[in-house]
């Protein structure tokens, strides 16, 4: 079965978070299920510079204000269609944000163009290539099912939208409607209208044949007023078409025995190699080379969603209990400044690298003792999966995919020998502090800690089961 995947980022070419990881991993994961995925990406320099083959398969004399081409080729191990539209995508750096920190003002046009071309490819733009399913990711690709609906052509393709994070909805003013190529009658509550604006994600949720989100618990949370962020009514209405399928981890990228980004490699049988990673992380982050201190780490966007604003509050009790904290992340300026401030105040016990650093992320996972993930909501979360695989014990908020992937070290789970980490709720400094003390108490009982690590490393966080679920869903919606 042929599937067209439409997305705004894909690892290893361009990634700002879990969306990129998942889009990059799905083609490999589904190959074993008899599903062949081609991914349509915007032609950012990070993509076009690496594109091999790069044959022009279609040209548009005018696509939303400029000439454009669809190129077919390979890059980063992916079979790609690339939307080469220099007036929209020939921009360096973050795919969504202009230098200076604001979103590109023409983002609605840029990603409507991506979706417009995705819908056309899905409906047979290329005579020799007809997919059975188009799989679109997040608001940036979410107009695909809307275009399919309003094109009103005989339907050749089934559509699936995956919501990686309901907080990013792509809402834009009504005045853009004509320039997006949507008809006036699309602007109703049964169409693309969303609280007086055009809702890209809303339109995708309305018109896709099936909706998935990235964990079973998040699939339940987004049906509620609290977790639905204004879209819960529509999501409840789509009822049985909403599925929660956990993300997997790309085991080729995250393999502690073969990971070339690590300072020391290791396996579940022998964790000795972790010491070199710990030393590398402590050196890089200005932490004392303390072998006995429980080393807590955070690898995250530094935002309210991720609970990063609460980190300063838990530093004093963590340090008082003998711990160290290593923070790798970037995001809100205010949170970045407070983390930098803490690293200066508690020099040698708190380390911070503000920025994005793939190699350091791997070394932290390979060398820290515990990974702290205090998200206020978390559709799936990937860092706790890498942590499990790398023998770092995840200490997570009990929400969304975090709740689904970590088994809390309750007295019962410890006695049964099945725990893989620590969960806490709600997300508050007091509750986090208690969770940290609970974690350190287990850390100071080496056989119990070793058991947590071993259970985590034995957990199946691969794409095997999720891939089977996606393949079954694709077959059920295939036209
Ligand atoms: P989200 O997509 O909401 O940011 P996820 O946990 O789903 O969160 O995915 C985050 C991904 O980005 C993980 O692969 C994580 O390792 C990576 N990551 C996040 N921040 C950084 C950083 N500062 N440096 C390197 N990798 C990071």
Query: Which residue's C-alpha comes closest to atom 4 of ligand 1?
Result: 17
Per-residue pLDDT at 239 = 87
Cβ 301 under 6 angstroms from ligand 1: yes
**Cα torsion 229, 233, 234, 236: sign:** positive
Per-residue pLDDT at 206 = 98
DSSP 404-445: HH--B--HHHHHHT---BEEE-S-SHHHHHHHHHHHHHHHTS
Cβ 328 under 6 angstroms from ligand 1: yes
Those residues whose C-beta lies under 8 Å from the C-beta of residue 248, and which sit 6 or more positions away, are: 25, 29, 385, 461, 462, 463, 464, 465, 466, 467
Asked if residue 141 lies in contact with residue 122, where contact means CB atoms within 8 angstroms, the answer is no
Phi and psi at residue 149, to the nearest 5°: -65, -50
Burial 214-234 (b: 16+ CB within 10 A, else e): bbbbbbebbbeeebbbebbeb
Per-residue pLDDT at 88 = 98
Residue range 181-214, pLDDT digits in tens? 999 999 999 999 999 999 999 999 999 999 999 9
Question: What is the pairing mode between strands 36-42 and 2-6?
Answer: parallel
Ligand 1 mean position, distance from CA 18 (Å): 6
What are the start and end residues of each CATH 3.40.50.2000 domain in the chain? 2-248+463-478, 274-458
Cβ 21 under 6 angstroms from ligand 1: yes
Continuous H helices in 239-332:
274-284, 311-320
Cβ 17 under 6 angstroms from ligand 1: yes
CA distance 138 to 351: 34
Question: What is the pairing mode between strands 68-75 and 52-60?
Answer: antiparallel
Q: Does domain 2-248+463-478 have CATH number 3.40.50.2000?
A: yes
- Please give the C-alpha separations between residue 6 and each of 19, 76, 402, 457, in angstroms, as whole numbers: 12, 16, 26, 33
Cβ 187 under 6 angstroms from ligand 1: no
Those residues whose C-beta lies under 8 Å from the C-beta of residue 450, and which sit 6 or more positions away, are: none
**Alpha-carbon radius of gyration of the chain:** 23
Q: Does domain 274-458 have CATH number 3.40.50.2000?
A: yes
Residue from 11, 311, 361 to probe ligand 1 pocket by mutation (most atoms less than 8 Å from CB): 361
Burial 288-324 (b: 16+ CB within 10 A, else e): eeeeebbbbbbbbbbbeebbbbbbbebbebbbebebb
Question: What is the pairing mode between strands 171-172 and 197-199?
Answer: antiparallel
Asked if residue 323 lies in contact with residue 441, where contact means CB atoms within 8 angstroms, the answer is no
**Position in ligand 1 atom list of the atom nearest CA 329:** 23
Count of beta carbons in the 10 Å neighbourhood of residue 99: 9
Per-residue pLDDT at 397 = 98
Count of beta carbons in the 10 Å neighbourhood of residue 31: 12
DSSP 170-194: -EE-GGGTGGGT--GGG-STTTTEE
CA distance 358 to 12: 11
* Residues of the chain with confidence (pLDDT) below 70: 479
Cβ 86 under 6 angstroms from ligand 1: no
**Position in ligand 1 atom list of the atom nearest CA 384:** 6
Q: Is 278 helix (H, G, I), strand (E, B) or coil?
A: helix
Residue from 262, 285, 299, 352 to probe ligand 1 pocket by mutation (most atoms less than 8 Å from CB): 299
Asked if residue 443 lies in contact with residue 395, where contact means CB atoms within 8 angstroms, the answer is no
Ligand 1 mean position, distance from CA 359 (Å): 12
């Amino acid at each position: 079965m042929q599937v067209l995947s439409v997305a705004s980022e894909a690892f290893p070419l361009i990634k700002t978070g879990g969306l990129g990881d998942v889009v990059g991993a799905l083609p490999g994961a589904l190959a074993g299920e008899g599903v062949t995925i081609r991914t349509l990406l915007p032609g950012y320099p990070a993509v076009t510079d690496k594109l091999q083959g790069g044959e022009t398969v279609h040209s548009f004399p005018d696509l939303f204000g400029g000439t454009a081409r669809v190129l077919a080729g390979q890059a980063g191990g992916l079979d790609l269609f690339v939307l080469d539209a220099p007036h929209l995508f020939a921009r360096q750096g973050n795919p969504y944000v202009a230098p200076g920190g604001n979103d590109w003002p023409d983002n609605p046009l840029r990603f409507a163009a991506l979706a417009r071309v995705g819908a056309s490819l899905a409906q047979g733009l290329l005579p020799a290539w007809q997919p059975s399913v188009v799989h679109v990711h997040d608001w940036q690709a979410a107009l695909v099912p809307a275009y399919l609906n309003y094109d009103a052509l005989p339907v050749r393709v089934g559509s699936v939208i995956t919501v990686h994070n309901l907080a990013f909805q792509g809402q834009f003013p009504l005045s853009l409607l004509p320039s997006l190529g949507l008809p006036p009658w699309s602007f109703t509550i049964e169409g693309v209208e969303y609280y007086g604006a055009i809702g890209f994600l809303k339109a995708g949720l309305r018109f896709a044949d099936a909706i998935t989100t990235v964990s079973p618990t998040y699939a339940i949370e987004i049906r509620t007023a609290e977790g639905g962020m204004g879209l819960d009514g529509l999501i409840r209405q789509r009822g049985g078409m909403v599925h929660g399928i956990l993300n997997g981890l790309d085991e080729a990228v995250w393999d502690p025995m073969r990971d070339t980004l690590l300072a020391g490699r290791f396996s579940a049988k022998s964790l000795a190699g972790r010491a070199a990673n710990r030393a590398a992380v402590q050196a890089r982050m200005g932490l004392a080379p303390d072998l006995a201190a429980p080393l807590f780490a955070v690898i995250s966007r530094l935002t309210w969603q991720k609970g990063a604003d609460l980190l300063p509050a838990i530093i004093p009790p963590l340090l008082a209990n003998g711990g160290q904290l290593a923070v790798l992340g970037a995001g809100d300026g205010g949170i970045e400044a407070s983390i930098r401030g803490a690293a200066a105040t508690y020099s040698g016990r708190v380390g911070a690298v503000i920025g994005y650093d793939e190699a350091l992320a791997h070394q932290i996972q390979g060398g820290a003792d515990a990974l702290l993930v205090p998200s206020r909501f978390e559709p799936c979360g990937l860092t706790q999966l890498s942590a499990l695989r790398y023998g770092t014990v995840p200490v997570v908020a009990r929400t969304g995919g975090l709740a689904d992937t970590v088994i809390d070290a309750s007295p019962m789970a410890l006695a049964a020998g099945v725990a893989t980490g620590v969960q806490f709720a709600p997300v508050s400094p007091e509750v986090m502090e208690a969770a940290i003390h609970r974690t350190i108490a287990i850390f100071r009982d080496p056989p119990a800690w070793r058991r947590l690590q071993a259970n985590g490393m034995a957990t199946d966080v691969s794409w095997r089961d999720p891939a089977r679920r996606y393949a079954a869903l694709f077959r059920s919606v295939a036209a």
